[in-house]
Structure 1
Amino acid sequence: MKDFKKIKVIKGENSFEIINPTNYPLIGHGAQGAVFKLSEDRCVKIYTNREQAKMEERALKAGQHLSFMPKLYKARSNYIIMEYFNAPTLKEYLKNSMYMPEAIAIKLINILKELKKAGFSMLDAPLRHIFVLENGDLKVIDHVNSFKRQHPAPIKLLRELKLILLKDSFLMHVERLEPKMYKEWEKFFDEKDIDFRKISVSSGGQGNAVNVDSALPLPLIGQGHQGAVYRVSEDKCVKIYSKEEHANQEKKVLLSCQHLPFIPKVYETSSNYILMEYLLGPDLNSFLKKQRSMPEYITRHLLKLLKTMKAHGFKQVDSPLRHTILTVDGLKLIDHVYSFTREQDRPLEMFKDLHLLNFLDSFLEQVKVLDEKTYREWTKTPIPLNELVKKQTYTGPHIKDELNKKIKTPEQIVKEILIRE
């Protein structure tokens, strides 16, 4: 088991690199590091920041007496070995629920009360960090910021329950079972209730991303060096920029191209924000990770999208997979700040993403069959893959568990819609 120490997790200014020469599968990664399964009951979290490792170690040790806290087996300067849960997250568990089960509501209330009693300042947890065991018990992971962030009310929990239409049902249980707690939350959110038009973000955050207020009641769904994206309703989101220049550049692209099928609808703009369509569906990077081979119909849609961009005067002709969303209306492309200003006639970001998924060669072969002229334009000079992948590299076992499931995922449903089209 000690060979997990060969795994390297490196976070650069604009990159995240995982080098995994072992057979331990990657089961999750984020801003703090990456998690690998060691056995049926243990996993290891490897951190990119040693201070964050110390913060989570402190929180886990302080909460070992709590029934919902993962067991801590070993902690060192850059990793922690802890209990692994082979169980659905609460988000998955509640996916088809029409109301919040009282038994789950009671357990969530007790978790929040116990966190407060133990002196934690972050009385909160997103649904994806809560696991439901076979016996119905709940377990909560990711405690790095438990003593750092001030969340006297469950901001993340409530905003995620709102997205799956269970917030009101949960609050009904809270009001009946814990009226004092309910009033405290009500007062907190009344004070925090804010119009998205009054939100501001600033440059200079971690990893070159903008700084945001983590205590805002709106769900943060994206954060980069240009700005932050919040979901404001079921079908709308707002992108708030740190620089007026970036807002104006993207506004020009979106408003002049509303007739193009891959451009999100715009509802309202200002000097530092754009209120636009919220796109329901997986990004293409997540979708393709679950495929055994490059789907030819995806190649056709990408080729059509890129040729449309070029025909309508886009200077940056590219479609990064993380910015390409599969929806019931076809492919939609987000992040257009540099579409009219940055000269780029080949989709280099897309090439890099496909290369990392081992799909670039098959993609180009399909393009050659579908549109030989475009293929020649893209390949007349070598694609600088070595330079591109320096920015982001992942080597190690691929997770393909979803391929073995017989239940249709949202991605599979979208795939069928695109095939019919």
Structure 2
Amino acid sequence: MSSDHKSVKGPYHNFDINLLDCEFLGRGNNGIVYLLPDGNVIKICFEHKSFEREYAILEAVNGNKYFPRLYEVGGNYMIRECVPGESLSHYIAKNGLDEELSLKIIELLKEFISLNFTKIDIRCKDIFVQPNGILKVIDPKKFYTKERSFPRHLSKGLYKLGVLDTFLQALKDNEPKFYKSWYPEIDKYIKETYES
């Protein structure tokens, strides 16, 4: 992939963006995010390699309902759709996990498979539950560069929230093929991590 990102040029490339006019939304390991006056967000990235990986994922899935739309990319920034709502972790801590939400998470994981991701996993903090109940991935990481055939980080997060059994029951009842494949790995991981 070229470093100039010529494949994504949006309406911003002829304008200066003054971050003093933008609302600070947060800072993570890989970058800092501001809300632009028009309602989109700009992420300024610290580390080129992780930036390239995130860009590659968002470009490949641009327009997919589970990911924020990518509008423009420059040397160390990307402008993309703002995802309102709250992280899955915070949402479950306040509201619990029911079968309906479990099924939405399962559908998200199935989408990962249909997108040919090699990592079928995500952290709870990287899934946002929007006000309309739709899930979106806010910080895609290593979906094409890491091999993981079951949702390990997701299971760990659900276990810590005390709702892993609810998720697994929904998986067993609605997607027995995935349950049969994933449950032994999840069970082994949880036992090794928390019960040994």
Question: Larger relative CO (CA 8 A, sep 6+): 1 or 2?
Answer: 2
SS at match of 2:183: helix
Q: Is the 8 A contact 2:99 2:166 kept in 1?
A: no
Matched with 1:115 is 112
What is the letter of the counterpart of residue 177 of structure 2?
K
State the 1:41 CA deviation. Answer: 2.9
Task: Give the Cα–Cα distance (whole angstroms) in 1 for the partners of residues 50 and 26 of structure 2.
Answer: 16
Query: 1:18-60 CA distances to partner (integer Å, 9 max, x unpaired)?
Result: xxxx242321222211111113631111111122221111101
Q: Does 1:69 align with 2:67?
A: yes
Matched with 2:17 is 3
> Which of 167, 171, 182 lines up with 2:168 in the alignment?
171
Task: Give the Cα–Cα distance (whole angstroms) in 2 for the partners of residues 173 and 194 of structure 1.
Answer: 20
SS at match of 2:94: coil
Displaced runs of 4 or more, over 6 A:
none
> Which of 30, 42, 47 lines up with 2:28 in the alignment?
30
Task: Give the Cα–Cα distance (whole angstroms) in 1 for the partners of residues 147 and 84 of structure 2.
Answer: 30
Task: Give the Cα–Cα distance (whole angstroms) in 2 for the partners of residues 83 and 124 of structure 1.
Answer: 22
Per the alignment, do residues 97 and 133 of structure 1 end up closer, same or farther by CA in structure 2, a change over 3 Å counting? closer
State the 1:66 CA deviation. Answer: 2.2
Task: Give the Cα–Cα distance (whole angstroms) in 2 for the partners of residues 179 and 55 of structure 1.
Answer: 33
SS at match of 2:52: helix
Identity %: 28
What is the letter of the counterpart of residue 178 of structure 1?
E
Query: 1:354-388 CA distances to partner (integer Å, 9 max, x unpaired)?
Result: xxxxxxxxxxxxxxxxxxxxxxxxxxxxxxxxxxx
Matched with 1:147 is 144
Matched with 2:94 is 96
Q: TM-score, normalised by structure 1?
A: 0.40
Q: Is the 8 A contact 1:66 1:114 kept in 2?
A: no
Mapping for residues 381-400 of structure 1, pairs under 5 Å: none
What is the letter of the counterpart of residue 121 of structure 2?
D
Per the alignment, do residues 88 and 191 of structure 1 end up closer, same or farther by CA in structure 2, a change over 3 Å counting? closer
State the 1:192 CA deviation. Answer: 4.6
Q: Is the 8 A contact 2:83 2:138 kept in 1?
A: no
Task: Give the Cα–Cα distance (whole angstroms) in 2 for the partners of residues 95 and 192 of structure 1.
Answer: 22
* Residue ranges of structure 1 left out of the alignment (5+ in a row): 8-21, 196-217, 219-231, 234-421
State the 1:136 CA deviation. Answer: 1.4
Task: Give the Cα–Cα distance (whole angstroms) in 2 for the partners of residues 159 and 108 of structure 1.
Answer: 14
Cα RMSD after superposing both structures: 2.1
Q: Does 1:124 align with 2:138?
A: no
Q: Is the 8 A contact 1:40 1:84 kept in 2?
A: no
What is the letter of the counterpart of residue 50 of structure 2?
Q
What is the letter of the counterpart of residue 83 of structure 2?
F
Task: Give the Cα–Cα distance (whole angstroms) in 2 for the partners of residues 88 and 146 of structure 1.
Answer: 22
Per the alignment, do residues 144 and 97 of structure 1 end up closer, same or farther by CA in structure 2, a change over 3 Å counting? closer
Task: Give the Cα–Cα distance (whole angstroms) in 2 for the partners of residues 40 and 165 of structure 1.
Answer: 39
Query: 1:82-109 CA distances to partner (integer Å, 9 max, x unpaired)?
Result: 11122122222222345x2222111111
Mapping for residues 257-272 of structure 1, pairs under 5 Å: none
